[in-house]
C-alpha cells in the first residue's frame, strides 16, 4: 500500500481541462476504460485529468453519427431513404487535406465505412430468419455490481429472438489496433457489455453469442473482426461474468482503501498508455525516477538479471506514459511562458502544402517514377482484387519480444529498487 497523496494537483493543466475526483463512497467505472481498471484497480480510484476532446475524438464522433444513420437504414429503424447526415472534418487533423476535394473524399470515406459497418453487422444474421432487433448506442448501466456502479454504452447490440443470438459490436475509428480478442481473452468492452445485457435481460438468455469490432482504418490486421465463442453461450457468459465481478471486487476494495487514506499498489503495463491518472500514480513517478538513475549512470541496465530485463521490458508502456506526461507539462509551461523554460528553434523540414497538387506537378513533368502508391488498404475497390493480389505481397513477419512469464510488476519495480539504495560511485 502507498500513502494517499491525491491532492497534489498539477500546477499547470491544459486550457479547458479539469480534474475529476472519485467519490470513494460510490465507486464508479466506465466499461470503455475496462481495459485499464481490470488490470490496475488503482486507476479506478485515482483522480483523473480530463481534457477537452481533440480533433481525432471529434472525427470519431462524426463517424459514429454517420454509422448510426447507416444502421438505421440497414435495420429499417425510423424514416428510410434519407441521405447520410452532413458531417465536416474537425479542424486540426494531422496530415489532412482541407481543400474541397480532400473534404469530399473524407466524407465519402466516412459514409462508405458506415455502410460497410452496417452491412457486416447485418451479415452476422444472414443465416437466420425472423426480425433482428438493432439497439444503437445501447445503454447498459448498472445501479450497482459488486459495490461498483458500471456505466456502459455499447455502440451496437443486436438480438434475434428466434435464433436467440446476441451480438455486441464496437465501431472504432482510431488507427491503433483494438481487436476483438479470443474466447479466453475477449475484447473487454464488448464482453462486458454482453454480461451486462444478460444481467439486465435475464428472460432473454442467448443461446448463441457473438462479438465484433469494426475498425476500418486499422493499420494492420482485419478491419472487421468477429468472435464466436466455441463453447455454449451460457457457459461463456458465466465465465465472463465471474471475471467482471472479480475485477469489480478489486475496484471496490481499492476504493475502500482510498477512503481510509491508503492506495492499493499500482499495476503498470501496456494499459498505462493515456492513463488519465498517471500524474497521481506512484508507479509512473517511481519508474521515472529510477529511469533517471540509469540515465545518470548511477545504475546500469547491464546489471539486471535476464528475468528483471524482461519484467521491465513488459512494463515499458509505463516509461512511455511518463515521457508523454513530461512532454505535455513542458509544452504547457512553455505555453504559459514560465521562466524555467527556454526554447531553441530548429529550422523546420520542408513539406508539401498540398500532396494532390504535388502529384499533379510530377505527372505534368512526366515523372511517374516519383509517385508513391497509397496504402494497400486504400486500393480495395479501385483496383480489381485479382490485380491487387498480383501487385501485393507481405513483408517478412516481425518478431515481437515478450517475457515468458508475462508481466511481473513486482520484479520490475524491485529490480530498480535494489539499485536505489546504492551509494553513488
Stretch that binds ligand SF4, among 18-26, 37-45, 150-158, 383-391 (CB under 6 A): 37-45
Stretch that binds ligand SF4, among 128-136, 143-151, 265-273, 339-347 (CB under 6 A): 265-273
Cell of 323: 515521457
Q: Which of 156, 153, 143 is nearest to 199 (CA)?
A: 143
Binding of ligand SF4 at residue 46 (CB under 6 A)?
yes
CB 273 within 8 A of CB 321: yes
- Find how far residue 223's CA is from the centre of its chain: 15
| d(C-alpha 227, C-alpha 242), whole Å | 19
Nearer to ligand SF4, 47 or 174 (CB): 47
Binding of ligand SF4 at residue 266 (CB under 6 A)?
yes
CB of 283 to ligand SF4, least distance (A): 4
DSSP string, 2-60: EE-------S---TT-EEEPP-TTS-EEEGGGHHHHTT-GGGGTS-EEE----HHHHHH
The neighbour count for residue 271, using CB atoms within 10 Å, is 22
Nearer to ligand SF4, 198 or 321 (CB): 321
Gyration radius (Cα) of the chain, Å = 25
Among 42, 121, 152, 193, which residue sits at the site for ligand SF4 (rule: CB under 6 A)?
A: 42
CB of 282 to ligand SF4, least distance (A): 8
CB of 316 to ligand SF4, least distance (A): 12
Q: Which of 17, 1, 19, 24 is nearest to 9 (CA)?
A: 19
Among 48, 277, 314, 415, which residue sits at the site for ligand SF4 (rule: CB under 6 A)?
A: 277
Stretch that binds ligand SF4, among 198-206, 260-268, 305-313, 386-394 (CB under 6 A): 260-268
Nearer to ligand SF4, 113 or 279 (CB): 279
CB of 410 to ligand SF4, least distance (A): 13
| d(C-alpha 33, C-alpha 39), whole Å | 10
The neighbour count for residue 175, using CB atoms within 10 Å, is 13
99-106's contacts with Cβ under 8 Å and 24+ in sequence apart are 99/354, 99/356, 101/356, 102/356
CB 177 within 8 A of CB 218: yes
Nearer to ligand SF4, 43 or 198 (CB): 43
Binding of ligand SF4 at residue 268 (CB under 6 A)?
yes
Binding of ligand SF4 at residue 36 (CB under 6 A)?
yes
| d(C-alpha 346, C-alpha 349), whole Å | 9
CB 265 within 8 A of CB 221: no
Greatest Cα pair distance, the chain, in angstroms, is: 76
Stretch that binds ligand SF4, among 116-124, 157-165, 272-280, 293-301 (CB under 6 A): 272-280
Binding of ligand SF4 at residue 281 (CB under 6 A)?
yes
Site for ligand SF4 in 287-326 (CB under 6 A): 321
CB of 7 to ligand SF4, least distance (A): 16
Binding of ligand SF4 at residue 272 (CB under 6 A)?
yes
Please state, in angstroms and as integers, the Cα–Cα distance from residue 312 to each residue in 260, 282, 298, 303, 330, following that order: 31, 16, 18, 13, 26
Binding of ligand SF4 at residue 22 (CB under 6 A)?
no
Nearer to ligand SF4, 89 or 276 (CB): 276
Binding of ligand SF4 at residue 278 (CB under 6 A)?
yes
Nearer to ligand SF4, 160 or 267 (CB): 267
Nearer to ligand SF4, 258 or 299 (CB): 258
Size of interface with ligand SF4, in residues (CB under 6 A): 17
Q: What residues make contact with ligand SF4 under the rule CB under 6 A?
A: 36, 40, 42-43, 46, 266-268, 271-272, 275, 277-278, 281, 283-284, 321
Amino acid at each position: 500500500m502507498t500513502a494517499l497523496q491525491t491532492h497534489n494537483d498539477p500546477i499547470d493543466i491544459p486550457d479547458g481541462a479539469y480534474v475529476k475526483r472519485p467519490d470513494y463512497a460510490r465507486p464508479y467505472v466506465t466499461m470503455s476504460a475496462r481495459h485499464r481498471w481490470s488490470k490496475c484497480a488503482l486507476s479506478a480510484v485515482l483522480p483523473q485529468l480530463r481534457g477537452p476532446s481533440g480533433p481525432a475524438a471529434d472525427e470519431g464522433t462524426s463517424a459514429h453519427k454517420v454509422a448510426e444513420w447507416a444502421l438505421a437504414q440497414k435495420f429499417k429503424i425510423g424514416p428510410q431513404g434519407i441521405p447520410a447526415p452532413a458531417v465536416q472534418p474537425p479542424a486540426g487533423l494531422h496530415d489532412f487535406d482541407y481543400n474541397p476535394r480532400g473534404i469530399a473524399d473524407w466524407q465519402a470515406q466516412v459514409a462508405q465505412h458506415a455502410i460497410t459497418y452496417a452491412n457486416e453487422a447485418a451479415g452476422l444474421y444472414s443465416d437466420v430468419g425472423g426480425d433482428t432487433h438493432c439497439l444503437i448506442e445501447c445503454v447498459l448501466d448498472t445501479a450497482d455490481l459488486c459495490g461498483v456502479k458500471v456505466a456502459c454504452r455499447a455502440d451496437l447490440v443486436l438480438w434475434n429472438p428466434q435464433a436467440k443470438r446476441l451480438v455486441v459490436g464496437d465501431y472504432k475509428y482510431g488507427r491503433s489496433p483494438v481487436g476483438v480478442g479470443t474466447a479466453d481473452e475477449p475484447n473487454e468492452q464488448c464482453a462486458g457489455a454482453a454480461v451486462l445485457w444478460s444481467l439486465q435481460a435475464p428472460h432473454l438468455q442467448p443461446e448463441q453469442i457473438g462479438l465484433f469490432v469494426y475498425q476500418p482504418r486499422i493499420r494492420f490486421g482485419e478491419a472487421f473482426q468477429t468472435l464466436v465463442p466455441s463453447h455454449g453461450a451460457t457457459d461463456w457468459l458465466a465465465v465472463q461474468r465471474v471475471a467482471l465481478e472479480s475485477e469489480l471486487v478489486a475496484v471496490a476494495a481499492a476504493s475502500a482503501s482510498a477512503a481510509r487514506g491508503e492506495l492499493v499498489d499500482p499495476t503498470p503495463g501496456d494499459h498505462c498508455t493515456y492513463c488519465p491518472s498517471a500524474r497521481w500514480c506512484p508507479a509512473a513517478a517511481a519508474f521515472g525516477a529510477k529511469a533517471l538513475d540509469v540515465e545518470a549512470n548511477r545504475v546500469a541496465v547491464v546489471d539486471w538479471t535476464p528475468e528483471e530485463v524482461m519484467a521491465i521490458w513488459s512494463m515499458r508502456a509505463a516509461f512511455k506514459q511518463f515521457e508523454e506526461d513530461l512532454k505535455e507539462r513542458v509544452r504547457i509551461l512553455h505555453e504559459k511562458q514560465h521562466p524555467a523554460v527556454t526554447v531553441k528553434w530548429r529550422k523546420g523540414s520542408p513539406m508539401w502544402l498540398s500532396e494532390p497538387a504535388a502529384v499533379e506537378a510530377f505527372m505534368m513533368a512526366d515523372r511517374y517514377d516519383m509517385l508513391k502508391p497509397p496504402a494497400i488498404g486504400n486500393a480495395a475497390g479501385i483496383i480489381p482484387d485479382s490485380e491487387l493480389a498480383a501487385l501485393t505481397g507481405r513483408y517478412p513477419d516481425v518478431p515481437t519480444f515478450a517475457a515468458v512469464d508475462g508481466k511481473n510488476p513486482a520484479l520490475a519495480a524491485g529490480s530498480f529498487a535494489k539499485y536505489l539504495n546504492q551509494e553513488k560511485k
